């Protein structure tokens, strides 16, 4: 505990030196981070393979390449973002000018999960650096190889007074939460998110919570069924379904249910028949999650798949026909199980989804602009992709985050910069003239003038 306190104090002292606020220092740090990632790229691939059996393609697309693209984007735009924003000044404050400055929070703490252990450690770090903060990263102990790789990368690239990695189990996390930070960024499940928020409240520390939930897919009667099936299968089984925005379940209008069911089974069969699938497919992170998922499968009506390799912690792509009250519909699946549900019409689908907590993502398949707008107006969610899955989070121009129980706060691109800075109001009054209106004595005439100004 004392070592962690000393590290936080060291980072606070470094932050107070003012060095992290300098634009040139921020840009240099982002370039160093990129160079360090490139240098350690092979080790990161190996770690992701060891922890999750991630194929190199998924490791690049979902982790390393994603992060490198984001660094380039932030480097290209950071100078513009850090400029004070001039805003109008009310006439009651004439003569004056008004600006919004972005000031860093200070010493930040980043908790990252195991499912995308590299991506979800470094993406928030990019925002912390861009905002002018110091940072301590606590990676998930469930992905130990990647945690070790991140620690090696960061320790070789930065001094620990600026950026550091603290490894350990939940006891270390609890110790970190007992220390005052200036900003906490947490990615994980909602139950732990509540604990983080509660502990942060003791210090009045602002938090960003990137959580999860059951992200639904809606397939309407006018959808391109073949394309919907293909893109849902890709999004669901990427990283073996261990993605916070993975399609959790599919709601299909009755008029196209049988057609969709046939199409989805064809696509999953294609996916599952890939030669040496285990080389192209992630494993379940650990035995506890494996056993939880196998229980869900055993209690479901499986129409495809259900195969597994217990020794290697593989669960192969599985499709189940579910009912609204099925156990598989009670919790976030976070694995390669895809429930499909038949509904009489869109209204029934809408009412069912709205009866559940607001999801992190919503997927809608329709060829109708009217139907698209109807869904967007009817159902709240963190983000939306129309006629595809997952891809809305890949854009540095779009905010990524949840709503309600799926999280609070947004990041990616400028939204990361905004999340790690505080908007500071700055008004500068001129001294070449002064008006006596605001000074006593307060007469009826003065009040009359002030009312007109307001």
Q: What is the pLDDT of residues 135-153, one digit of tens each?
A: 999 999 999 999 999 999 9
Q: Which residues are CB-neighbours of 179 under 8 A, at least 6 positions away?
A: 4, 5, 8
- Cα 364 to Cα 220: distance, rounded to the nearest angstrom: 8
Answer whether residue 308 is part of any domain.
yes
Number of domains in the chain: 2
Cα angle 404-410-413, degrees, rounded to a multiple of 5: 165
- Cα 453 to Cα 403: distance, rounded to the nearest angstrom: 40
Identify the pLDDT of residue 92.
Answer: 86
Please check whether residues 287 and 368 belong to one and the same domain: yes
Answer whether residue 72 is part of any domain.
yes
Partnered with residue 198 across adjacent β-strands are none
Answer whether residue 332 is part of any domain.
yes
Residue 103 belongs to domain spanning: 2-211+409-426
Question: Pick the catalytic residue: 244, 251, 253, 332?
Answer: 244
Identify the pLDDT of residue 363.
Answer: 98
Active-site annotation holds for 244: yes
- Cα 362 to Cα 155: distance, rounded to the nearest angstrom: 39
- Cα 158 to Cα 161: distance, rounded to the nearest angstrom: 8
Residue 175 pLDDT greater than 90, yes or no: yes
Residue 453 pLDDT greater than 90, yes or no: no
Please check whether residues 55 and 178 belong to one and the same domain: yes
Answer whether residue 431 is part of any domain.
no
Residue 279 pLDDT greater than 80, yes or no: yes
Identify the pLDDT of residue 276.
Answer: 86
Confidence category of residue 308, pLDDT binned at 50, 70, 90:
very high
Please check whether residues 272 and 200 belong to one and the same domain: no
Please check whether residues 200 and 224 belong to one and the same domain: no
Q: How far is CA 270 from CA 181, 301, 304, 387, in A?
A: 49, 21, 12, 20
Q: Which residues are CB-neighbours of 397 under 8 A, at least 6 positions away?
A: 413
Please check whether residues 118 and 237 belong to one and the same domain: no
Residue 218 pLDDT greater than 90, yes or no: yes
Confidence category of residue 390, pLDDT binned at 50, 70, 90:
very high
Active-site annotation holds for 210: yes
Confidence category of residue 297, pLDDT binned at 50, 70, 90:
very high
Please check whether residues 130 and 114 belong to one and the same domain: yes
Q: How far is CA 180 from CA 11, 12, 176, in A?
A: 12, 11, 8
| Residue at a domain's end among 394, 417, 440 | 394
Q: Could you read off the pLDDT of 363-379 as tens digits, one per residue?
A: 999 999 999 999 999 99
What's the half-sphere exposure (Cβ side, CA atoms, 13 Å) at 104? 23
Partnered with residue 422 across adjacent β-strands are 103
Please check whether residues 65 and 105 belong to one and the same domain: yes
How do 96-104 and 421-429 pair as beta strands?
Answer: antiparallel
- Among candidate residues 94, 89, 147, 92, the one with its CA nearest the CA of residue 118: 147
What predicted TM-score, i.e. pTM, was given to this entire model?
0.95
Please check whether residues 383 and 421 belong to one and the same domain: no
Residue 1 pLDDT greater than 80, yes or no: no
* For range 70-88, the mean pLDDT: 98
3-class SS letters over 254-319: HHHHHHHHHHHHHHHHHHHCCCCHHHCCCCCCCHHHHHHHHHHHHCCEEEECCCEECCCCEECCEE
Answer whether residue 255 is part of any domain.
yes
Q: Could you read off the pLDDT of 320-359 as tens digits, one per residue?
A: 999 999 999 999 999 999 999 999 999 999 999 999 999 9
Please check whether residues 204 and 229 belong to one and the same domain: no
Please check whether residues 198 and 220 belong to one and the same domain: no
Q: Which residues are CB-neighbours of 70 under 8 A, at least 6 positions away?
A: 123, 126, 396, 412, 413, 416
Residue 274 pLDDT greater than 90, yes or no: no
Confidence category of residue 202, pLDDT binned at 50, 70, 90:
very high
Question: Pick the catalytic residue: 58, 63, 70, 210?
Answer: 210
Query: Residue 344, Cβ neighbours under 10 Å: how many?
Result: 10
Please check whether residues 176 and 258 belong to one and the same domain: no
Tokens representing 386 are 């129309």
Answer whether residue 453 is part of any domain.
no
Answer whether residue 273 is part of any domain.
yes
* For range 148-174, the mean pLDDT: 97
**Element counts in the chain: helices (H) and strands (E):** 16, 18
* For range 47-60, the mean pLDDT: 97
Confidence category of residue 452, pLDDT binned at 50, 70, 90:
confident
- Cα 417 to Cα 75: distance, rounded to the nearest angstrom: 11
Least confident of 254-263, 275-284, 295-304, 365-374: 275-284
Entry field: residues in the chain? 454
Summary mean pLDDT of the chain: 96
Residue 435 pLDDT greater than 90, yes or no: no
Least confident of 220-224, 303-307, 433-437: 433-437
CATH number of the domain at 257, please. 3.40.309.10
Distance linking the first and last C-alpha atoms of the chain: 55
- Cα 125 to Cα 137: distance, rounded to the nearest angstrom: 8
CATH number of the domain at 47, please. 3.40.605.10
Cα angle 163-167-168, degrees, rounded to a multiple of 5: 150
Answer whether residue 445 is part of any domain.
no
Please check whether residues 55 and 122 belong to one and the same domain: yes
């Amino acid at each position: 505990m004392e070592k962690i306190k000393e590290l936080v104090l060291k980072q606070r002292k470094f932050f107070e030196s003012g060095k992290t606020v300098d634009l040139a220092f921020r840009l240099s740090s982002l370039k160093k981070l990129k160079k360090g990632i490139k240098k350690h790229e092979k080790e990161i691939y190996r770690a992701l393979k060891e922890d999750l059996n991630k194929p190199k393609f998924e490791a690049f697309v979902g982790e390393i390449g994603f992060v490198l693209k984001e660094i380039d984007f932030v480097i290209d735009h950071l100078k513009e973002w850090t400029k004070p924003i001039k805003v109008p000044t009310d006439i009651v404050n004439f003569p004056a000018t008004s600006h919004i400055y972005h000031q860093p929070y200070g010493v930040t703490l980043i908790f990252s999960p195991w499912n995308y252990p590299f991506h979800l450690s470094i993406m928030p770090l990019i925002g912390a650096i861009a905002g002018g903060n110091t940072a301590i990263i606590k990676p998930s102990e469930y992905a130990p190889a990647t945690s070790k790789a991140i620690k090696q990368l960061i320790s070789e690239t930065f001094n620990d007074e600026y950026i550091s990695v603290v490894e350990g189990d939940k006891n270390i996390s609890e110790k970190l939460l007992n220390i005052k930070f200036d900003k906490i960024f947490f990615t994980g499940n909602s139950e732990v998110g509540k604990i983080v928020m509660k502990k942060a409240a003791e210090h009045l520390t602002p938090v960003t919570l990137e959580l999860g939930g059951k992200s639904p897919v809606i397939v309407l009667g006018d959808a391109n069924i073949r394309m919907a099936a293909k893109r849902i299968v890709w999004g669901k089984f990427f990283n073996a379904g261990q993605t916070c925005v993975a399609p959790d379940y599919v709601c299909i209008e009755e008029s196209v249910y049988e057609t969709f069911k046939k199409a989805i089974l064809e696509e999953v069969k294609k996916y599952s028949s890939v030669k040496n699938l285990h080389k192209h497919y992630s494993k379940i992170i650990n035995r506890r999650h494996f056993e939880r998922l196998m229980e869900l499968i055993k209690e479901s009506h499986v129409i495809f798949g259900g195969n597994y390799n217990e020794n290697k912690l593989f669960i192969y792509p599985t499709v189940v026909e579910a009912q609204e009250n099925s156990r598989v519909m009670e919790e976030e699946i976070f694995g390669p199980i895809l429930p499909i549900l038949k509904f009489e019409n869109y209204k029934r689908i809408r009412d069912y989804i709205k009866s559940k907590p607001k999801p992190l993502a919503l997927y809608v398949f329709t060829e109708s602009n009217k139907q698209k707008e109807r869904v967007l107006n009817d159902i709240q969610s963190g983000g939306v992709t129309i006629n595809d899955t997952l891809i809305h989070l890949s854009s540095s121009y779009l905010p990524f985050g949840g709503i309600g129980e799926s999280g609070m706060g947004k990041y990616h691109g400028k939204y990361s910069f905004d999340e790690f800075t505080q908007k500071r109001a700055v008004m500068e009054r001129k001294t070449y003239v002064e008006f006596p209106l605001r000074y006593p004595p307060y007469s009826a005439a003065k009040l009359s003038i002030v009312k007109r100004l307001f």
